[in-house]
Amino acid sequence: MSEVTGRASADSGVLPMRKRGSALPIGLAVAPPPDDAGKKTVTEALQEIRDRIDPVAISGVLAATRDGLVLCAHTRDIENESVAAMAAAAAGLAAQFIARASVGDPRVVFFEGDAGQVGVFSVDPDTLLVVFSERNTTMGMFNVAAKQALALLQQAIAGQR
């Protein structure tokens, strides 16, 4: 949370001003952007995933950084940049929720709507996989296909390192 200076009063009309300097606490690391080889590996892996997974169960896949930047996407009619940012936020919220509930480490966040499902999976400490399905996909089919996609992407990234 950033620091503010000044006193905001309804009568004075003065807005609080933020102090100059970093809003990040000392010691909080920001992940460096992925290099070209890493992006190429993810891009190739997502293409292979799209070719190998059930297109009925999975309608799209997107890889993003934990900072919410798109690495690669194979989606239709989706704002990839917004979805990547929201996936990063959802993963962060899930980590806090899971910690408060004392149920271990977060693995996946699922959202189910009336027109399909979205799953946000942790691939590694720096990467998220977002998987989309259509309306007629059951949660069981979606879960199996999404975990297959996750395993393929994890294998591709591990093979690159």
Quick: pLDDT tens for 67-112.
999 999 989 889 999 999 999 999 999 999 999 999 998 889 999 9
- Residue 110 · residue 133 · CB < 8 Å: no
Give the pLDDT confidence score for residue 89 in this predicted structure.
Answer: 96
Read off the tokens for 78. Answer: 């989706």
Q: How far apart are CA 146 and CA 133, in angstroms?
A: 9
Read off the tokens for 48. Answer: 């292979």
pLDDT in tens, 2-43: 444 444 444 555 544 544 443 434 333 344 445 666 677 788
Give the pLDDT confidence score for residue 68 in this predicted structure.
Answer: 95
Give the pLDDT confidence score for residue 32 in this predicted structure.
Answer: 45
Q: Which CATH superfamily, name and number, covers 34-160?
A: Dynein light chain 2a, cytoplasmic (3.30.450.30)
Give the torsion through C-alpha atoms of 92, 97, 99, 105, to 10 deg: -60
- Residue 106 · residue 122 · CB < 8 Å: yes
Give the pLDDT confidence score for residue 80 in this predicted structure.
Answer: 95
